[in-house]
Structure 1
Amino acid sequence: MLPTPTQNMDGNRPFAQMSYCTVVDKNDQCKFICYTHKDSEMFNVGLTNASDVWSTAFTGETLNQFRQKFALKSTADYIMKIRSACGSGSVSVSMQDSCAVLCVGTSPGDLNVTLSRLKQPEAKEKLRELLFRMADSLTRLDHTTGPAPFSPGKSPHKRSTDFEPRRQPQSGQTLAVKKRLPGDSLINPGTRRKHPATGVAFDEEDDQ
């Protein structure tokens, strides 16, 4: 994902408009997508299991209240705390009847964010917006990184020649390798080797 930087609500350093991560329910180990989204005046934190949606929106005033509560230097630090926890895997969720509690960190005094469950058709519209925002982020990422460089000497479709017949360097004809049988001639393969004649032995008889 390619985050889009924008100016934060207290005028300090910019932060990314969108971020996504997966979180796990502490009770049944089900996975959810946690997302943050910044529009003109609101900072949204949402959670979805691809069918239901839980969400909350922060104004500049509520973000400032959270910043003071957790002794953070700026509202961007509060937002970055959530996003860095998502990246490190130290975020979990606890589902309740009508809300979900996003637990940021592992200590009891760490940050918790309560998200309200959205009703239909608002939940469906939020899922649709989330899907297209993620697609736009991937498109920007592809345009930024560009395609992988092509190397003529390294084709992904290069064939393996380990099991192909051997070829002569010039003619390119396939050499037929035949097994030599016992007695075959080494000079003329396919013909039997001839042994030198030893002559015929006759017995000498007396003329008497």
Structure 2
Amino acid sequence: MQRPAAPGSLCVVPAGSGQGPPLYVCYCAGPEGQGLGAEPGAAGAFHLRVTDALELWSASFTPETLEKHKAQHGLDEAEDYSSWFRVACDQHAVSLTLKDDSNAHLTISREAKTLTFDLFKVPSPEAAPQLQALMLGLAEQVCRLERQLAALKDMTPSSRKKPQPAKQQLFLPDPDSRRGAPGPVIRKWMPGESIINPGFKSKKPASGVNFDDT
């Protein structure tokens, strides 16, 4: 079994002007490489496809018809439709209208220019392998992205716990717990020592008040 093509540009759009279901997957396979569900040996061709996972609509171009389509829309031959589609997907500038059961109309806008494509329903026998390639390609892409995400997580250093700030002490410590701890020495006052200048003796001993002099 052929290895599924790696997913390229795609977007999910509603049909018509509605914002809800049904939704359709729009994707392309361009001339710059094998895109989603591109056929082997299809280099140089360009394919636009729309699917609801049950049915498939497609617009396929050979290099000759692609050049003609560009000329009809006033584009240079060197313009790349794959880049157009990728930018339009990023800017949500892709719109889809289902004309009937077998035809669809796709519009891709970029800046002031608009490209229009008529898509036709692909018969079920031909659509089945293309839808299978799309599903397997998307599954492979999801698995690869999950591996890359796991590798990035392993490379990220684990966050360290920040030290908790010390809680404010609301109560005085137990006096017994302060015994033996160094603290200020309270000097005892000695008799005859100056009260104003501790450490110096008073020149004249203090005497009481003589009431006889009054």
TM more than 0.5: yes
Q: Distance in 1 between matches of 2:76 and 2:84?
A: 12
What is the alpha-carbon root mean square deviation over aligned residues?
A: 3.9
| Mapped pair 1:84 → 2:87 | yes
Taking structure 1 as reference, are residues 107 and 117 closer, same or farther at Cα in structure 2, changes over 3 Å only?
Answer: farther
Is the partner of 1:55 in helix, strand or coil?
strand
- Residue 127 of structure 1 aligns to which amino acid in structure 2? L
Q: Distance in 1 between matches of 2:86 and 2:13?
A: 12
**5 Å matches for 1:95-174?**
95-97=98-100, 98-105=102-109, 110-138=114-142, 147-148=151-152, 149-154=154-159
Is the 2:9–2:86 Cα contact (8 Å) retained in structure 1? yes
Q: Distance in 1 between matches of 2:147 and 2:158?
A: 26
**5 Å matches for 1:54-65?**
54-65=57-68
Counterpart residue number, 2:14:
24
- TM-score, normalised to structure 2, is 0.56
Q: Considering Cα pairs closer than 8 Å and 6+ residues apart, tell me whether 1 or 2 has the greater RCO.
A: 2
- TM-score, normalised to structure 1, is 0.57
> Structure 1 regions of 5+ residues with no counterpart?
5-16, 163-185, 189-208
Q: Distance in 2 between matches of 1:139 and 1:75?
A: 35
Counterpart residue number, 1:72:
75
Aligned pair count reads 154
Q: Distance in 2 between matches of 1:25 and 1:66?
A: 24
Is the 1:72–1:78 Cα contact (8 Å) retained in structure 2? no
Is the partner of 2:151 in helix, strand or coil?
coil
Following superposition, the deviation at residue 107 of structure 1 comes to 9.8
**5 Å matches for 1:3-42?**
18-29=8-19, 30=21, 31-38=23-30, 39=34, 40-41=41-42, 42=45
Say which structure is richer in helix.
Answer: 2
Taking structure 1 as reference, are residues 24 and 70 closer, same or farther at Cα in structure 2, changes over 3 Å only?
Answer: same
Taking structure 1 as reference, are residues 123 and 74 closer, same or farther at Cα in structure 2, changes over 3 Å only?
Answer: same
Structure having the higher Rg: 2
> Structure 2 regions of 5+ residues with no counterpart?
35-40, 165-173, 177-214
Following superposition, the deviation at residue 133 of structure 1 comes to 2.1
Taking structure 1 as reference, are residues 143 and 26 closer, same or farther at Cα in structure 2, changes over 3 Å only?
Answer: same
Taking structure 1 as reference, are residues 48 and 75 closer, same or farther at Cα in structure 2, changes over 3 Å only?
Answer: farther
- Residue 55 of structure 1 aligns to which amino acid in structure 2? S
- Residue 131 of structure 2 aligns to which amino acid in structure 1? L
